[in-house]
Structure 1
Amino acid sequence: MTMTVYGTEIAFFDVETSAPERCALLEFGAILVCPRRLVDVSSYATLVRPDDLDAVFPASWTGRSNGITRDAIAGAPPFRDVADNVYAILHGRVWAGHNILEFDTPIIRKAFAEIGRAPPEPKGVIDTLPLLTRRFGVRAGDMKLASLANYFGLGKQKHRSLDDIRMNIEILKYCSTVLLLEPSSPAEVSDELVCDVAEMQLDAAMQKDASSSGYSGFLEPGDVSIECIKISVALLHQFGRPTTQILHKSTPLQLSCTGLEVRFGVNPKFLDNAGRPKLNIKVVIPENLRKVLEFCDDLAKKSSPEACGTSEWIPLIKMDANAKHQTVRLNIPTVVSGETATYATDICKKERNGAIRKLVFSKVDEEELDSLLRWNKVDAFFSLELYDYKQNAGIRLVAKRLVVHSR
């Protein structure tokens, strides 16, 4: 296990889709980039098979110039099988890409909604289309990626995720260099200022979107208005299962709470559908969090589709063995990369001086994680997800980030 500074990479990403009338996700690609020099740290790409292949690719379809063929898509995994990877790459990072606010981000959110999962949330967003239009002007025409690439002589846009991302990064470097060398730019230019435009936007995005806790979109119990909590049920497909979400002011409810005492360590007893351990820890909750979770549990039990079937509703809050403390379980999901399983939850350590560093694990190790967490305190950031599985239904608390206090 090693430690690294948390959340330093920018996640440049791009999606490829089918025709506009269907707009089904066909490919996702992302490159994690060092924000100061725009140097690649790692990359990931996958084709995605839509649920209804014939609707996306009718018999008359003859292929696209980007090389994405029907046969390739037919052999690709469905989004459900790669969602963990996409979530782990995007969640809690600064997102970047060309026109991602209008196009790529809605596609990703739709894909997660269709499988009944909360989407990843960014720390901040850098959309290079409005950014470069504002800073570089319209000297490259409509400022589309293909137009910018032609302006700088970078060749034709390939409309494949990783190729387009790399082109986008090169364009950003070119635009930054041109701006810095123009008469209105500073006379002294250091090598670190090649990425000046991106860094200025990154700083603005983080100042605007990051919460005081360092994780945006998560509410402390005291900031939750009970009367603003509701259950949302949507039928995404005509014959699909309804998707249920717990909302707070029209946004999926996500909570944060500091200093939770871990009563018991990691429990690897249960397995998911892929045979991976369903890890969880039991924590003691304060009164203000109890009130919020109790209200959500009661509301979901009364009005969610999960509670209307034959499954037994499992209460979210439990009393510990000596009936002195109320506890809940925080689930720690895992994700498989190649043949190795790692934690999908960001696990960090809070030093005595207040500095927070991300812990990097080479693989899932229940004993190592148990030793880190047992009888310790954590700051927890978690989402609320409804489940109905093997005749049990209820609310599952999924840890997105755990900050472990130094003993």
Structure 2
Amino acid sequence: MFSSSDRSQIVVFDVETTVPRPGQGVGILEFGAILVCPRTLVELESYSTLLQPLDLTLISTLSDRSNGINKDAIISSPTFSQIADKVYDILQGRIWAGHNILRFDCPLIREAFVEINRPPPEPKDTIDTLPLLTQRFGRRAGDMKMATLADYFGLGDQTHRSLDDVRMNLEVLKYCATVLFLESSFPDIFWVSPNGSADFIDPDEVSIPSINVSLTRFYHGTQTIHIMHNDMTLQLCCSHLKVRFGISTKFVDYAGSPRLNFVVDATPNLCQVLDACDSLAQRLSVDSGSSSEWRPLVTRNAGFLSSPTVRLNIRTVTDGSVTKWVTEIHGKEFSTSPQKLVFSGLDIAELEALFTPGTYVDAYFCLYPYDYKQNAGIRLVAKKLIVHSN
């Protein structure tokens, strides 16, 4: 089975262990792995076994678990040395994958081979989905543990059995990849973070050295720039921005619908953050081979403007022949709580009446780099707007 000479497959594996206790080591109680085609992510083969640790005192306090791992089952299971050849053949020279394997599973496997005086297997490469998804998917799913991710995607409870866990890991990876693909392909429809304003930070809280950009590659070789802050997607919230110019319908999207936007005065701290994003993203755009003209986020020295400004875009989506805006728009009067506004349809006159010059808004927005028809830059797209009553 796993003894195929083809070492290009991905092996997703997991170990279950005794609970770490002060002054004690950790015993491996179960090893499980699946072999996955790297082109289709289809499961090809599987293997799992319970294991009896060399130090039986590690299971002296082992209570019956709901997943079926108990003392009786462990005592009647093989030791690691008895299945070492099988584990070596499964892992050696293949791409290793798993959740938190670099810090947990991989060291345990290597230690198990050292204990029986055998050289441990070595991977062709390693895919640890914990740091990978934390960086690419962000912490929208909380602590990014497998159980939390599974709950986020509605995949059920984690059983803490090796084979179940590696299969769940693979499904989580597929779900995350699909969401990221859709968000990048249709930024006007899909959002980087569905968790509301909790994932948005004030420009005052941004550490400029912690801003970084990377290229994300997608289907047919397309790629986009991803802007991060402390390993999370950078999203900003700014309060009391003054509207300088009201709703504009000058631009249209790929579907021919108006790309609604308005211009606000930019605070010094906001300008500093956006300038840093502009500089990093433009440099990466040039380094990646783009020849498009870069359009800066912040407009300055326009003569008739007394302060720097930025343009905020309102999201629209077209369903058939019907176009509607999907940016949440709330109204706020004096000290009252904001109330979500309900619109009858795509009535631009209603928006024009709200976003008049001199009006103040609180804005929660994302940064979407673009490169289209020889023009490149970053578009600020509002997820939520709170309009203050004059």
Q: Give the shorter-chain TM-score range.
A: 0.5 to 0.7
1:330 CA displacement: 0.5
Match of 2:382 in 1: 399
Spell out, residue by residue over 1:262-318, the C-alpha distance to the aligned partner (whole angstroms, 9 max, x if none).
111110011111110011100001111110001111111112359742211111111
Spell out, residue by residue over 1:150-172, the C-alpha distance to the aligned partner (whole angstroms, 9 max, x if none).
xxxxxxxxxxxxxxxxxxxxxxx
Which among 109, 112, 121 is matched to residue 179 of structure 2? 109
Distance 1:122 1:215 in 2: 9
Match of 2:209 in 1: 227
Q: Please, what TM-score do these two structures have when normalized by structure 1?
A: 0.51
Match of 2:246 in 1: 265
Which among 291, 303, 306 is matched to residue 272 of structure 2? 291
Tell me, yes or no, if structure 1 residue 99 matches structure 2 residue 155. Answer: yes
Distance 1:114 1:23 in 2: 21
Match of 2:193 in 1: 121
Which among 218, 229, 233 is matched to residue 252 of structure 1? 233
* Aligned 1:324-339 pairs, distance under 5 A: 324-339=306-321
Match of 1:32 in 2: none
Any gaps of 5 or more consecutive residues in structure 2?
1-36, 43-139, 141-150, 158-167
1:107 CA displacement: 5.3
Distance 2:384 2:215 in 1: 26
Spell out, residue by residue over 1:5-50, the C-alpha distance to the aligned partner (whole angstroms, 9 max, x if none).
xxxxxxxxxxxxxx998479xxxxxxxxxxxxxxxxxxxxxxxxxx
8 A contact 2:363–2:384 mirrored in 1: yes
Q: Taking structure 1 as reference, are residues 338 and 114 closer, same or farther at Cα in structure 2, changes over 3 Å only?
A: closer
What is the number of equivalent residue pairs in this alignment?
Answer: 229
Distance 2:323 2:255 in 1: 11
Q: Does 256-265 or 341-350 show the bigger shift?
A: 341-350
Distance 1:306 1:343 in 2: 35
Distance 1:317 1:100 in 2: 46
8 A contact 1:306–1:386 mirrored in 2: no
* Aligned 1:94-243 pairs, distance under 5 A: 98-99=154-155, 103=171, 106=176, 108-113=178-183, 115=185, 117=187, 119-123=191-195, 215-237=197-219, 239-243=220-224
Match of 1:58 in 2: none
Spell out, residue by residue over 1:191-242, the C-alpha distance to the aligned partner (whole angstroms, 9 max, x if none).
xxxxxxxxxxxxxxxxxxxxxxx611101001101011111112234x4212
Match of 2:297 in 1: 316
The AA in structure 2 aligned to 1:363 is G
1:289 match: secondary structure: helix
Distance 2:39 2:291 in 1: 39
Q: Taking structure 1 as reference, are residues 364 and 20 closer, same or farther at Cα in structure 2, changes over 3 Å only?
A: farther
The AA in structure 2 aligned to 1:111 is F
8 A contact 1:351–1:406 mirrored in 2: yes
1:386 CA displacement: 0.7
Match of 2:10 in 1: none
Q: Taking structure 1 as reference, are residues 361 and 317 closer, same or farther at Cα in structure 2, changes over 3 Å only?
A: same
1:269 match: secondary structure: strand
8 A contact 2:225–2:281 mirrored in 1: no
Distance 1:116 1:305 in 2: 23
Q: Which gives a bigger RCO, structure 1 or 2 (Cα 8 Å, sep 6+)?
A: 1
8 A contact 1:261–1:283 mirrored in 2: yes
1:367 match: secondary structure: helix
Distance 2:272 2:248 in 1: 26
CA RMSD, 1 decimal:
2.9
1:120 CA displacement: 4.1
The AA in structure 1 aligned to 2:230 is K
Distance 1:333 1:394 in 2: 17
1:323 CA displacement: 3.7
Which among 343, 363, 373 is matched to residue 380 of structure 1? 363
The AA in structure 1 aligned to 2:369 is L
Larger Rg: 1 or 2? 2
Spell out, residue by residue over 1:370-393, the C-alpha distance to the aligned partner (whole angstroms, 9 max, x if none).
110112110001111111112211
Tell me, yes or no, if structure 1 residue 358 matches structure 2 residue 335. Answer: no
8 A contact 2:183–2:192 mirrored in 1: no
- Percent of aligned pairs with the same amino acid: 40
Match of 2:283 in 1: 302
Tell me, yes or no, if structure 1 residue 281 matches structure 2 residue 351. Answer: no
Spell out, residue by residue over 1:118-163, the C-alpha distance to the aligned partner (whole angstroms, 9 max, x if none).
744233xxxxxxxxxxxxxxxxxxxxxxxxxxxxxxxxxxxxxxxx
Distance 1:385 1:235 in 2: 15
Distance 1:331 1:365 in 2: 16
Distance 2:156 2:250 in 1: 40
1:336 CA displacement: 2.2
Any gaps of 5 or more consecutive residues in structure 1?
1-18, 25-89, 124-213
1:309 match: secondary structure: coil
Q: Please, what TM-score do these two structures have when normalized by structure 2?
A: 0.53
Distance 2:211 2:264 in 1: 23
